[in-house]
Structure 1
Amino acid sequence: MPVRRLKPSRVLGVERFSDFSEFRANEVLGLGTSTPLRPREFSLSRAILPHRDGLFVLQRSFARRYEAEIGTDNGVGLVVPLTFHSIANGREVDSSTIAVMRGKAAVEAIEDRPNTYLMLRFNSDMRHRGWADFDTSLAYVRAQDDPMTRLRAAILEMFSLASACNEPGEFEALHRPIQETLLAGLDATLLPAGARAVRPGSYDRHRKLVAHLDEVVALFGFKPLYSDDLAAALGVSVRTLQVATHAVHGVSLHRYLRLKRLWSVRVQLMTGGDGLTVKAAALGNGFWHMGDFSKSYKLAFGETPFETLAHGRRPFHPAIGA
């Protein structure tokens, strides 16, 4: 969904400018000076989504010369491109490149066309996830196509949902599931290629950690599984869990937990009472994007969640003579 189609709601703020004299910069990642390259074609739209742990701004900008000291005083800032091209500090930056900021950095850029991108500011520095392991700098991370496609889809779905939601309490209830999806996408794009490498002699330690993880997951029961909560319960970093699940099972931590959450939904649908709905079971296990959930469920189990629920509600008829 293009930014211009988003509508304001009680959750989402939307700003649009068609005259450069009325334009004002957003301070999510610092202020800068913008000079339009084609003033008669000026247009800017942005959607602002406050977040419990930071701020998200989805913006469609204009062709411009941009000079700024960008970044954050605390935490970490990111710019995730949807469609993007610029020359920043003499370097070409395109739609495959995520900018990661710690502290402040001077930037001089030429954006020769309108760009669409998400600006994120997290209050946490996210070091426990293994992102951009430096103290104060601006780094550009080139992501692979598939993880970037999934990340962009999650971003657009998040803003689309916020645009359609006029009950702040309802959106707040989805805060953790949405955040987990976004973190999964960022983990997949920002972790360096060697982040999941297994050191010689460490497999047994990883196997024991994953066994312990399985025990903790069992204790969680039907509660949603979030990577930060599980890492805290085990006394390790999320990055350590990522390395362990990849070493033992050959999949990312998020995929491993997603499969467990899908199984949890399946058990509930097969054994739930008459009042249970697919949506309630999905939301209760941390799934917020119903279309994506249904697709993943059928791929995993060969039937839709609605079919599983229908099977679970069929009355049991013991065999004659049993």
Structure 2
Amino acid sequence: MKTTFLRTVAAIALLGSAMAHAQNYPTRTITMIVPFAAGGPTDTVARLVAQSMGNTLKQQIIIENVGGAGGTIGAARVAKATPDGYTLFLHHIGQSTAPGLYRKLSYNAIDSFEPVGLITDVPMTLVAKKDFPAKDLKELLAYVKANKTKVTYANAGLGSASHLCGMLLQTAIGVDLTTVPYKGTGPAMNDLLGGQVDIMCDQTTNTTSQIKGGKIKVYGVTTKTRLASMPDVPTMNEAGVPGFEVAVWHGMYAPKGTPKPVIDTLSNALRTALKDPVVKQRFADLGTEPVADARARPEALKAHLKSEIDRWGPIITKAGQYAD
């Protein structure tokens, strides 16, 4: 009886402490981990959202770029962080593909984190170097099939959005391309711009300005319908690759055990940020838009993450591309 009583008292004390913490939260600077290099598309999304959320929370949110191993190094750091709301994690679709791509993870993609909410679904574009000979997707596919040993496909590394899109493309057209992995989207795009590699599939947040500037060619977008920001660019489906749809969604997380009142505060701040006219306009400039309010909630991100893990697992297994 005494032991049970003491445990109850301790539990009440912990609950009271958590509630007091949540009522005062936040009282200092928050760190948001982005598991990729600065300047990439996920980093861009994070900085836009962090600025607006910081205004709502009345505390600065600083971005810390912890790149490497397809985002798993940054994820592992967050999974081990103190669950007090002062360490956040913003990751893209790679959070759902890591369990399939990596045989050994020091964390569980679902159980090691508290979801805060979805942020945006970023379309992807199939692009090529400026002087690539094909004038449209039909010609590109024919050229690739005829020159599959010569055509080089760039990606930002194992587990990156460009890697995943490339796997889908090669599966869809039944061709194995010479893949050139880079340590990030920036170096991959630089070599595409310089003509060192031929084609690439990447997020509109990274390709829109290059496309509009005429520095690279674009052959299709990976959405069901054409993009308002690039109305002349056909979807992959209408251009010759039926059913080819992929969006790079971004989600925000906190370490497992972060008090629910803190998660609620963060979720509210995120949803406010996604309604911010400045954020919405910047997203539009990059060819994307914030998710609907109902999807920017913890339960929506948790359900989406589970469904995406189920979706990508078989695709990765079929491709046979793993990392230790």
Tell me the TM-score normalized by structure 1: 0.26
**Higher RCO (Cα < 8 Å, 6 or more apart):** 2
- Which one has the bigger strand percentage? 1
TM, length-normalised to structure 2:
0.25
